[in-house]
Amino acid sequence: MKLLGNVDLLTSQTVIKFAAFIFISVSFFYLGKHWSDGSRQLIFFSRQSPSATASYIPTVGISPNFNKEFNISALISATEPETESKPVDPVKNDGKPVSASEAHSPQHPPTTPPPPPVIKSYGIVDENGTMSDEFEIGEFDPNLVENWGNGTEIQEETKTEGATSTFRVKKFGLCDESMREYIPCLDNVEAIKRLKSTEKGERFERHCPEKGKGLNCLVPAPKGYRPPIPWPRSRDEVWFYNVPHTRLVDDKGGQNWISKKGKDKFSFPGGGTQFIHGADQYLNQISKMVPEITFGQHIRVVLDVGCGVASFGAYLLSRNVITMSIAPKDVHENQIQFALERGVPAMAAAFATRRLLYPSQAFDLIHCSRCRINWTRDDGILLLEVNRMLRAGGYFAWAAQPVYKHEQALEEQWEEMLNLTTRLCWTLVKKEGYIAIWQKPFNNSCYLSREAGTIPPLCDPNDDPDNVWYVDLKACISRIPENGYGANVAPWPARLQTPPDRLQSIHIESYIARKELFKAESKYWNEIVASYVRALHWKKYKLRNVMDMRAGFGGFAAAMIDNQLDAWVLNVVPVSGPNTLPVIYDRGLIGVMHDWCESFDTYPRTYDLLHAAGLFSVERKRCNMSTIMLEMDRILRPGGRVYIRDSLDVMDELQDIAKAMGWHPTLRDTSEGPHASYRILSSDRRRMEEDIRHIEVLREI
């Protein structure tokens, strides 16, 4: 009986659970039916799986809402790709919606997708993901080059506070074709016309546009432009259409400067006006004349004045000598452009009325070969500028007609030069053939022993020989520091990592010993550049012309050398910070003073890499960041790269500007991680026009 009672109890509990389940199911059924007749109802539809090229075909499926009319056009994404095969239109031609049953009626059969076309490979990887030599480039539409637009698009943004409006450039337009080689501060025609005099070369100096009237568009490349020939081949040949000018070929071809090679190249035999048999032979002659001129050891940094196409500097590179080649933008205006296209350091600069933008005691040797400069005019004020930049104990080499010709006028010029250099306390070390070489004294003792009233006098002790930004030339002799700073530099390559004496004279707020600061900066950049080489494969980029836009002590440039990157670096020291140029030159590097609120003295498309660390967070207080970015775009080669390391609060605006210029920016974390206050914005300069030209090159290959 007890067992039977347990069975009855178990059975009754099961029945109760089953009855409850049935009740709940029926309740939900009626509730669902009630809601399905309400305001919003569900429609079930599916889409066929798209193939590589087929369009999306939405089809309506049978649902509990059969025979009810709906307009499902709002449910279909407006971003569906349009193709030749049109999807079923759920709305009739008269504007009435098609019912679900009519959508599948014989009058409205569902459209079947067309067969997929043959896949075309627009690269070197086929549809299976394997490398292939058989691929199609695609059709070239020349209109796409100009479709970037010649107009700048501006978008207005209104701030809620105070209802103030700001303007953001959505897209910068292309400049006119006449500006393909535009240098804003050297091509300011209106300012040059207003000059009171041009007899001393004033027209070749900087005359920048007024604030707000500078570059506001993207300088286009010439038609037919191609990626530059990599170094060291570029020393001997460059593409014709990258610098499409033949005047130098006509004027200087007989002096072995440059010649036309076929239809699409220029070649550089390595000669010059005074060394038509080649720069190598000329350099050997100089070394034999003065054995103390040891290229690549005590002679590391050289200035070549009136450089032509920079063959003198090009051939010194193989002797571990870096040369700053300068020339004005005169009748041979493209000589600096040719030099930079070859991959040789060069700048547009002129001996006229202002100091050049290099520090005192910068160069171990200064060279002038038929540079067409009257060194003795105005009491020798131009040679005094050479004296300022020449290192104590350094050499001045002059190859010119007065050295070797015996015509009366030329002999008088030679006597004037001898008289001037004697008063400068220079020593004529050697005169042989058409070359004369002088040496600057190591100290001021000769100057102080001259007769009273000797012209030119010593400069005032308060004169700063390193103050060069828009400073007029001075007809006085720059004093050599009594402590020997600048004269006592280690030979190359030891000087690269040796803290120089002039480190102590830099006006900086340093809370630790300056030598330790110098070493810390070198170590910091060496680790960063090593990581770039290792992780970002910098050696594969074939970088050649590099600019560090805020160079400090030159640690980035030194790291490029230590990591064996076959490139040269122009170290730019902004006027907004301490003048560290003397330290940079004492290390055996080259650099220049500059204000980034103005244009730089170089041609468009001349640098492969622009590096800027902490630049924008400082300069944005002085000028618009778009001014600097547009200048970077002007001087960067198509396909060139930019690395901006700066604070996080400037990165959003920099990315917007980069996109407006057609760059491809990427934001990266620094080695400190994602929570650091700094980021790295990397980008390449490749707009649609450059992409198309790269395709053209591939087609030709």
CA dist 137 and 696 (Å) reads 8
For 587, the token pair is 């290390």
Sign of the CA dihedral with 474 first, then 479, 485, and 488 last:
positive
DSSP string, 322-367: EEEEEE-SSTTTTHHHHHHHHT--EEE---SSB--SS-TT-EEEEE
CA dist 148 and 687 (Å) reads 8
pLDDT digits (tens, 9 = 90+) for 178-190: 999 999 999 999 9
pLDDT at 22: 80
CA dist 556 and 541 (Å) reads 17
CB 557 within 8 A of CB 576: no
- Three-class SS state of 283: helix
CB 117 within 8 A of CB 84: no
CA dist 435 and 449 (Å) reads 29
Instruction: Enter the DSSP assignment of 611.
Output: E
pLDDT at 554 over 90: yes
CB 212 within 8 A of CB 184: no
CB 327 within 8 A of CB 335: yes
pLDDT digits (tens, 9 = 90+) for 256-282: 789 999 889 999 988 887 787 889 999
Alpha carbon 601 to chain centroid, angstroms: 14
pLDDT at 132: 42
pLDDT at 9 over 90: no
CA dist 238 and 236 (Å) reads 7
Q: Point out which residues pair with 91 in neighbouring strands.
A: 97
Return the closest-CA partner of residue 451 out of 425, 428, 475, 474.
Answer: 425
What amino acid is encoded at 69 in this protein? E
CA dist 685 and 549 (Å) reads 17
551 CB neighbour count, 10 Å cutoff: 26
57 CB neighbour count, 10 Å cutoff: 18
pLDDT at 96 over 60: no
For 58, the token pair is 């939405």
CA dist 31 and 23 (Å) reads 12
CB 436 within 8 A of CB 430: yes
Q: What is the average per-residue pLDDT within 467-480?
A: 97
- 64-68 long-range CB contacts below 8 Å, 24 or more apart? 64/36, 65/36, 65/41, 65/100, 66/100, 66/101, 67/99, 67/100, 67/101, 68/41, 68/99, 68/100
Kindly give, in sequence order, each residue whose CB lies less than 8 Å from that of residue 152, ignoring residues fewer than 6 positions away: 169, 171, 172, 173, 216, 217
pLDDT at 100 over 70: no
CB 87 within 8 A of CB 111: yes
- Three-class SS state of 239: strand
Residues recorded for the chain: 701
pLDDT at 656 over 80: yes
% of the chain residues with pLDDT over 70: 75
Identify the band that residue 319 occupies on the pLDDT scale cut at 50, 70 and 90: very high
- Three-class SS state of 29: helix
Letter string b/e over residues 505-535, b meaning 16 or more CB atoms within 10 A of that residue's CB? bbeeeeeeebeebbeebbeebbebbeebbee
CA dist 258 and 275 (Å) reads 13
The secondary structure element, H or E, covering residue 643 is strand 636-647
Return the closest-CA partner of residue 245 out of 234, 255, 257, 235.
Answer: 257
CA dist 667 and 675 (Å) reads 14
pLDDT at 149: 54
Identify the band that residue 509 occupies on the pLDDT scale cut at 50, 70 and 90: confident
pLDDT at 510 over 50: yes
- Three-class SS state of 450: coil
pLDDT at 23: 77
pLDDT at 503: 94
pLDDT at 303 over 80: yes
Sign of the CA dihedral with 514 first, then 519, 522, and 525 last:
negative
CA dist 496 and 587 (Å) reads 4
Q: Point out which residues pair with 667 in neighbouring strands.
A: 681
pLDDT at 152: 63
Instruction: Tell me the pLDDT of the chain averaged across its residues.
Output: 82
pLDDT digits (tens, 9 = 90+) for 119-142: 444 444 444 544 444 433 333 333
